Structure 1
Amino acid sequence: MPRLLNVMLVCLMMLIGAGVPAVAKDITIDGIRFGQNGTTTRFVLDVSSEATPSIFLLADPYRVVIDLPEANWRTNGDVKTSGVVDGYRHGLFSPGVYRIVLDLKAPATIANSFTLPPNGQYSHRLVLDIEPTSRSSFLSAVQSSKSERPSFASASVPDVTAPRKRISGKRVVVIDAGHGGPDPGNLGVIGVHEKIVVLEIARAIRDELNKTGRYQVHMTRDRDIFHPVRERFRIARRHHADLFISVHADSIKNPNVSGASVYNLSETASDREAARLAARENKSDVIAGVNLAEADDDVSSILIDLAQRETMNFSAQYANILVQELGRDVPLLQRTHRFANLGVLKAPDVPSVLLEAGYLTNKSNARFINSSDGRKKIAQAVRRATDRYFQQMVALGR
């Protein structure tokens, strides 16, 4: 059998163990290791029990993606990569699927894969040998890896994204905690990833709005899980949201920059920093290992629908109010209200803003937004802004 065909078949048909796949709650990832032998990079994954993985390749950038049943990650600290592997990320990709993404420095394929049984030092091990290849061979392997993959049962966790019946008399607000799962977002000077910081802020906002009794509040995620950019605004639309707030935390090379800012959608960035942020945030799907070649044409159709200028005007109105309320208790960036072509804000019929709570690369700012006091002040500002905004909507007969 030709070597390339063998590589593809191994990559697509590999099974760990011969028994029944372990259920999600029984799987623990205990450690990972990288090694180099000539041109071959070896990746070893320690798992607590046998499981059936799905392994496939994605191009532009070059990536190896490993999906497992939902797992607990028990490895502490970052592990140094080697050879053709430039870096890695991991996390809950969707209910029932735990994803590990290996970023490659150049095109490479799975030359060999096998499992090792437990011994005195290690538990079950999944071993991948990754070897450099040509771009054309890599792209062929990418196409082949679209074949049927193992499906994993979803964990028994309530789906917070499912549409729910609207409560009469209450405005619907959807809070989006940015990033999540294998897309960690920024890692700042306090050593906590953005996905964790913003989830806590989003929960604080949810609780603050719920306390008023005036709002029906939903979250795009209430745990460390990934949603593609398009899915985030789809969730808002499924809930027939009156307002969508996406919460993030920024990062920049200059450690002296700090403060919150609020973004509205625009095809033209308001400044260089807005363009930089949009370029980074719009890469979330790539970072999490989404096959962008399979994306539908929602964005193009939505850009046409953006002729509905009213929605954008309402978004800007809310952003102006939010900036004012944040300014009472929350440190602000000098140019606070900005515009950028952010994919998460492209729902054509839901007023939407992106709140950058602060900078994780500024020590005092990072500590503030990661503190209970900071979260409370941000949440209270959002509540005041939301109250004022909907009061204005009532005055307009909406």
Structure 2
Amino acid sequence: MSAPAIRQTADHLCRVSAAPPSRPGRAAARLGRMAKRAMGWAVICLLALVAVIAGPLPGVGPEEAVAAETARAVGLRFGMHPDKTRLVIDLDRRVDFRAFTLSGPDRVVIDFRNLDWQILDKGENSGAGLIARYRVGLFEPGVYRMVLDLSQPSQIDSMFVLPAQDGLPPRFVVDLSRTSAQSFARTTLKGEPEDRFDGTKVAAAPQPPAGQAAVAAAPILPDAARPRARTDGRRIVAIDAGHGGIDPGAIGITGVQEKSITLAMAKALAQELEKTGRYKAVLTRDRDIFIRLRDRVAIARAAQAELFISIHADSVQNPRTRGLSIYTLSERASDGVAAQLADSENKSDLIAGVDLSTESAEVTSILIDLARRETMNLSARFAGHVIGQVQPHTELLTKPVRSAGFAVLKAPDMPSVLIETGFLSNRQDEKVLQDSAHRAKLARSIVGAVDQFFAAEQTWSRL
């Protein structure tokens, strides 16, 4: 799948089929056996729906198409009064926006259409008054998201764009005032925001009864719209570069961001896989953009990937902790470090202002139950191959194969692992992870593990 095709998949996830993958051959047979062991194709269809979300915002196309109409943010400042805080962003022209609030933690989220933040600091910055801190990053093509972390529950009193006048540029203004926790909770958005950029606060939409939300969002596509099975004989491997866009991930000792390391490593691995001629590499992101955890899995499934590899480089409190490790899915973490990392990675959506409260607990429970079966065994086997291949070439964490409840590993029909390539909180790891030669060496080792995995699968299928 080409890079434009992957972008289209990421931007139009509402087209992902709710039907089980149609890939013929051994992989499909394996999925069939898994379905029989669980509760039939009906469950598989239901599980597939967890990965399906609403499509992109109407009218938002690739960056190239919107560049001509892009506004620029040229300044930002705060005004504080008793129990109130004003945020002002200076612009060079008017801009369309939408806003909503989320709880757990309390946040105000503002999406700007076609707004260039290049001259202002992206990432996380200190706020003032009712705004503890704020961060800005690319949410999806054509849309920058600003997340205001609140120091206490606050309501949006007003939000508007002032036209240029009296020598002053156009200004975006938002006024916040203190409110009670109960009042704030009543105004928070549940589910996806409405596709509106008319400058109004997005209201919370009525929610369907528990257990029906995922089903209601499941468009059944005609066969012609479904992904085609591979015809060139290559196995399909999905590579997920962790974090991205508004979510920088871990920050290294020298300031390097995890999202940059993971993208560089993912591209190196994709290049090595493609070079063999045996594999088609599918990147869940090929640039600095935020993609929700469940969307990453959906992209891989839409491409009919047979293996999912998520790349990370995290940070822990102990600066002496270093080395590569690999994680598979389990309902309970194998140890404290695994639990800490899973909790950190699973919060990526919260960092970017995405509401997770509408996930069905029942569907998630079924998902974990099914994933325990053959897919988890295959994931563990691949993890063992990876460690065997990389051990001669890099430092390993003590007990390098671990398990925890990583959200990005929960595809029911696709062996999945998360590789922590090292720790940015350790000076040595941070240094080698920025070395392209080291990344290429790791990539070649992982390709060796992929070779072993698929060769062994052919042996198992003949038994």
- Do the two structures share a fold, i.e. TM-score over 0.5? yes
- Give, in whole Å, the separation in 2 of the partners of 1:367 and 1:120: 52
**Superposed displacement of residue 211, structure 1:** 0.6
Measured against aligned partners, the alpha-carbon deviations of 1:22-54 in whole angstroms (never above 9, x if no partner) come to: 945523333433342222222222333211100
The answer to whether the 8 Å contact 2:126/2:132 transfers is no
**Superposed displacement of residue 264, structure 1:** 0.6
* TM-score, normalization by structure 2: 0.74
* TM-score, normalization by structure 1: 0.85
Matched, 1:313 2:377: yes
**Superposed displacement of residue 394, structure 1:** 2.1
2:366 aligned residue: 301
2:419 aligned residue: 355
**Superposed displacement of residue 92, structure 1:** 1.8
2:37 aligned residue: none
Matched, 1:34 2:78: yes
Matched, 1:140 2:186: yes
**Superposed displacement of residue 148, structure 1:** 4.2
Correspondence 1:360-375 to 2 at 5 A: 360-375=424-439
- Give, in whole Å, the separation in 1 of the partners of 2:101 and 2:251: 26
Amino acid at match of 2:108: V
- Give, in whole Å, the separation in 1 of the partners of 2:279 and 2:99: 43
**Superposed displacement of residue 373, structure 1:** 1.6
Q: Any gaps of 5 or more consecutive residues in structure 1? A: 1-21, 153-161
Deviates more, 1:69-78 or 1:218-227: 69-78
Question: Does the C-alpha gap of structure 1 residues 72 and 328 become closer, same or farther in structure 2, counting only changes over 3 Å?
Answer: farther
Selected match of 1:129 from 163, 166, 175: 175
Matched, 1:166 2:230: yes
**Superposed displacement of residue 388, structure 1:** 1.6
Measured against aligned partners, the alpha-carbon deviations of 1:320-364 in whole angstroms (never above 9, x if no partner) come to: 110121212122112211111111101111011000011111122
Deviates more, 1:388-397 or 1:193-202: 388-397
Q: Any gaps of 5 or more consecutive residues in structure 2? A: 1-64, 199-225
The answer to whether the 8 Å contact 2:234/2:279 transfers is yes
1:338 aligned residue: 402
- Give, in whole Å, the separation in 1 of the partners of 2:279 and 2:436: 23
Measured against aligned partners, the alpha-carbon deviations of 1:290-337 in whole angstroms (never above 9, x if no partner) come to: 122333565333123225x21111100110110121212122112211
**Superposed displacement of residue 68, structure 1:** 0.9
**Superposed displacement of residue 121, structure 1:** 8.7
The percentage of counterpart residues that share the same residue type is: 44
**Superposed displacement of residue 185, structure 1:** 0.9
- Give, in whole Å, the separation in 2 of the partners of 1:81 and 1:121: 27
2:311 aligned residue: 247
1:9 aligned residue: none
Amino acid at match of 1:50: R
1:150 aligned residue: 196
Selected match of 2:142 from 63, 88, 96: 96
- Give, in whole Å, the separation in 1 of the partners of 2:167 and 2:93: 15
Question: Does the C-alpha gap of structure 1 residues 121 and 177 become closer, same or farther in structure 2, counting only changes over 3 Å?
Answer: farther
Matched, 1:186 2:250: yes
- Give, in whole Å, the separation in 1 of the partners of 2:193 and 2:404: 37
The DSSP-based 3-state class of the residue aligned with 2:139 is strand
2:54 aligned residue: none
Selected match of 2:239 from 175, 182, 186: 175
Question: Does the C-alpha gap of structure 1 residues 296 and 382 become closer, same or farther in structure 2, counting only changes over 3 Å?
Answer: same
- Give, in whole Å, the separation in 2 of the partners of 1:397 and 1:355: 27
Matched, 1:76 2:121: yes
Measured against aligned partners, the alpha-carbon deviations of 1:72-105 in whole angstroms (never above 9, x if no partner) come to: 3211376431112122222222233211111112
The answer to whether the 8 Å contact 2:191/2:357 transfers is no
Question: Does the C-alpha gap of structure 1 residues 86 and 258 become closer, same or farther in structure 2, counting only changes over 3 Å?
Answer: same
RMSD between aligned alpha carbons?
2.5
Deviates more, 1:137-146 or 1:298-307: 137-146
Selected match of 1:386 from 446, 450, 463: 450
2:289 aligned residue: 225
1:16 aligned residue: none
- Give, in whole Å, the separation in 2 of the partners of 1:322 and 1:147: 40
Amino acid at match of 2:368: L
**Superposed displacement of residue 396, structure 1:** 2.2
Amino acid at match of 2:93: S
The answer to whether the 8 Å contact 1:52/1:150 transfers is no
Amino acid at match of 1:72: D
- Give, in whole Å, the separation in 1 of the partners of 2:326 and 2:194: 42
- Give, in whole Å, the separation in 2 of the partners of 1:210 and 1:48: 44
The answer to whether the 8 Å contact 1:24/1:69 transfers is no
The answer to whether the 8 Å contact 1:167/1:216 transfers is no
Correspondence 1:258-297 to 2 at 5 A: 258-296=322-360
- Give, in whole Å, the separation in 2 of the partners of 1:393 and 1:349: 15
1:155 aligned residue: none
Count residues with an aligned counterpart: 367
Question: Does the C-alpha gap of structure 1 residues 306 and 143 become closer, same or farther in structure 2, counting only changes over 3 Å?
Answer: closer
Question: Does the C-alpha gap of structure 1 residues 165 and 73 become closer, same or farther in structure 2, counting only changes over 3 Å?
Answer: farther
The DSSP-based 3-state class of the residue aligned with 1:173 is strand
